[in-house]
Amino acid sequence: MNYDDLITLGIAFGLGLLIGLQRERTDNKMAGVRTFTLIAVLGVVSGFLTRDFDNPYILPAIGISLTALLVVANIIKLKKFSEADVGQTTEVAVLLVFAIGAYLVLGSQIIGVIVGGTMAVLLYVKEHLHNFIENLKEKDLAAIMTFAGISLIILPILPNQTYGPLDVLNPRNIWLMVTLIVGISVVGYFIYKFVGKKVGIISNGVLGGFISSTATTVSYARKTANSKKINKMAAFVITVASTIALVRIIVEIGIVIPEKLPQLILPLAVEFVFMAALCVGLFYLINKDTSEDDEMPEPKNPAQFKSALIFGLLYGLILLAVAFTKQEFGNQALYAVAVISGLTDVDAITLSLSQHMRNGGLETSSGWRLILLASLSNLVFKGIMAGVLGTKQLAKWIALSFGLSIIAGLLLMWLWPEGWHF
């Protein structure tokens, strides 16, 4: 007995049951839990017949017959009911479930399960998706279209080879990093749109960190100028956003050089835990009367083409600066580059250093220190902005939280044992 075939049948049965359960819950008259389960099993059996008899015509013949049944069912519905609701979702779902069942046999079971599970979730969140789309503004659609242009149109046509001095400027690689950064910001932005403005001060800081910790710092510093009662709350949100920015850095490293993440993540995680502890301390110091002022300022469109182009140029310049500095002055001089680059954009220097570590041009022991130093430099820059744009009280709280974070980071860089990593 072939137990693999039994497992395949079990997977198809489960996926059909799951999707059919959702369709029946919507009171669909064409196909419910039993029909979808049978269709999934039919797809598997069709795959078995095609495989065992080595006949490529069996699967399409059964698929065409199933399509004909759907057409006949809709014709009967139209004749029987004067106002029949003939949609396409259930019909497409039926054909897709059949195809998934066949693919479980003839293709990859992992992909089949992923597609089936995603399909069930997509059908379940139909109403939420409709509400979300109805609430989209013009700038939200612009963000989606701009990101689609950046990732699906520009990226594939760029040449995948190096140009220029020091042989480090690869147009496709540079734009891939642009796509990564814009994508992270867009995800944070649409989470903000999905959960709404009133999400609480903790969520404000978390979302601000993923969208832009610098923009969050500017927004909340300006809010304190108009309402001096929210200094502690603003300091808390700004600190949380900067703490989450470390998570963003770790995510970027994990995407670019996942094989070296175990050697880099531990000291960065320690800094994150320290800053998170500071956030907890600030949270308990926040005045209770600030709860009505916890609305997050609406962020700007994070997928503006001009911003993406500027980031790409900045990233390319930092790639050149890192390569030139390393070649002419050695690794020690990279610390100056990290400090200067971190003042403007910590993402660009993080990705640049990650590329050099991936190519073997930089040791991980130096790499994480340079990345952490750039993030500390960025804290200095945001602290100065908070002091200039906000109140003196906000400046004191930010000086306390950022000052302790910078001291902790510098101590980590100095005292961290070389052998401590996963």
**Residues 159, 115 share a domain:** no
Say what the pLDDT of residue 69 is.
Answer: 85
Same domain, 118 and 153: no
Domain end point (choices 82, 97, 124): 124
Do 261 and 317 share a structural domain? yes
The count of structural domains within the chain is 2
| Ramachandran angles phi, psi of 333, nearest 5° | -70, -15
The CA-atom distances, in angstroms, between 273 and each of 203, 239, 406 are 17, 13, 13
Residues 109 and 144 in one domain: no
Clarify whether residues 120 and 144 are in a common domain. no
Domain of residue 75, residue span: 3-124
Q: Does any domain span residue 132?
A: no
Q: Is position 391 within any domain?
A: yes
In total, the chain counts a number of residues equal to 422
Per the CB < 8 A criterion, the answer to whether 356 and 362 are in contact is yes
Residue 292, pLDDT score? 45
Q: Do 78 and 213 belong to one domain?
A: no
In a domain, 325, yes or no: yes
List, run by run, the mean pLDDT of 10-residue segments along the chain (422 residues). 80 87 65 82 92 89 88 76 63 89 91 88 75 75 86 90 84 91 83 63 79 86 76 89 94 93 94 95 70 56 79 90 86 90 89 89 91 96 91 92 96 89 76
Q: Is 284 inside a domain boundary?
A: yes
Question: Does residue 313 share a domain with residue 192?
Answer: yes
Q: Are residues 263 and 405 in the same domain?
A: yes
Residue 420 falls within a domain, yes or no? no
Same domain, 108 and 252: no
Last residue of a domain, one of 98, 124, 150: 124
Closest C-alpha among 45, 173, 63, 158 to residue 101: 45
